[in-house]
Amino acid sequence: MFEDIISFIRKTFNAPEGNIPLHQPRFAGNEKKYLEQTIDSTFVSSVGEFVNLFEKKICEYTGSKHAIAVSNGTSALHIALQVCGVGRGDVVITQPLTFVATCNAISYLGAAPYFIDIDRKTLGLSYQGIVEFLESKVEMREGYSYVKSLNKKIAACVPMHTFGHPAEIDKITAICNMYNIPIVEDAAESIGSYYKETHTGTFGRAGVFSFNGNKTITCGGGGAIITDDSALAMRAKHLTTQAKIAHPWNFVHDEIGFNYRMPNLNAALAVAQLEQLDLFIHNKRTLAEEYKIFFDKKGIEYVREPENSKSNYWLNSILFDNKQSRDLFLKESNEAGIMTRPAWTLMTKLSMFKECPKEKIDCAEYIEDRLVNLPSSVRI
């Protein structure tokens, strides 16, 4: 039934046979050179020149003042939330259509997600949904926002830039600022994406990135926290280095910390990948345009970058008319060696989070039933 789509994908990736992955890494620059330099230096763990260089380069690329390189995107989100004040018993506004790491990080701190619906145009957190929730169900007490029915403080809001497409982050940040709710951007998927010519992750108090093996640029694992707040950055770096007080030889730690720093080996890969990011994104945006033209002709909805945005198109997506068509396409494409994937199961359906508070999530449920991610690797 979907032979023409499968044939088009094979032709697009110049792969007449064999498996086509969803998103494989590309190592076409200085990766081996920098890894050899790291090995020769013997500084292969969390101290080394490439860790510092990567943090500097991330700041230059995104326009942020500070960057803290960490072991993965989940640890980045965990620490960003902690330094922004999230604690036990709090609630954190976020979206039900997201990767589980978003909600796991909230839970590490003893807080609970409060789910607001997504926006149809961006697939990210709905600005209008937040406005309606805050205006009807929240009250201010001593400078903080509380959910009236739960008597719980809203300690943060975590919008996620889904598949690399920016949410309406300026408006979300503005309304949350009015209610003194810190924004921590889950920009795990959106390195190289811009909203109104400003890089994602730089709108709130902090933003986080992931450099997992399936991301636009990768260092195997890895993540980063970015912020313009110097005090927040210092505390984040302190917590990610086991909360050790700096001293030439003594080992003194002043609070519970975490072994979350990025190793120098990973940072070497990350620097080499970051050098190629603009080329990768140009390549991916070209692929996105080819997909768009093809699916427009097919009458199948292709997920475009939102208005006022420049997306990295980490994953290209289409929407079927119903769940049955989606499931049939997933079956046929994967059996044909084309790796396609549905959207994540909504967080509200997972056993760990199904009892968490939520508003109506009609749009998220609609998208979950219809969306498919297509192969989106950088083509050589």
All structural domains of the chain, each given as residue ranges with its CATH number in brackets, are: 3-23+277-374 (3.90.1150.10), 31-275 (3.40.640.10)
* pLDDT given at position 1: 85
SS (H, E, C) 18-64: CCECCCCCCCCCCHHHHHHHHHHHCCCCCCCHHHHHHHHHHHHHHCC
Spatial distance between the Cα atoms of 211 and 160, rounded to a whole number of angstroms: 16
User: What is the average pLDDT value for the chain, to the nearest integer?
Assistant: 97
**Averaged pLDDT, 37-65:** 97
Instruction: Judge whether 326 and 369 are in contact, CB under 8 Å.
Output: yes
Mean pLDDT score, 94-116: 98
pLDDT exceeds 90 at position 89: yes
For residue range 316-328, list pLDDT tens digits in order.
999 999 999 999 9
Span 154-165, average pLDDT: 98
Q: Which residues in 250-289 are b (16+ Cβ under 10 Å) and which e?
A: eeeeeeeebebbbbbbbbbbbbbbbebbeebbebbeebbe
Say how many C-beta atoms besides its own lie within 10 A of residue 62's C-beta. Answer: 22
Confidence of residue 103 (pLDDT cuts 50, 70, 90): very high
pLDDT digits (tens, 9 = 90+) for 2-48: 999 999 999 999 999 999 999 999 999 999 999 999 999 999 999 99
The answer to whether 96 and 361 have CB atoms below 8 angstroms apart is yes
Q: What pLDDT, on the 0 to 100 scale, is given for residue 255?
A: 96
Express each pLDDT in 317-372 by its tens digit.
999 999 999 999 999 999 999 999 999 999 999 999 999 999 999 999 999 999 99
- Exposed/middle/buried for 291, CB within 10 Å: 0-12, 13-18, 19+? buried
| pLDDT on residue 380 | 76
pLDDT digits (tens, 9 = 90+) for 265-307: 999 999 999 999 999 999 999 999 999 999 999 999 999 999 9
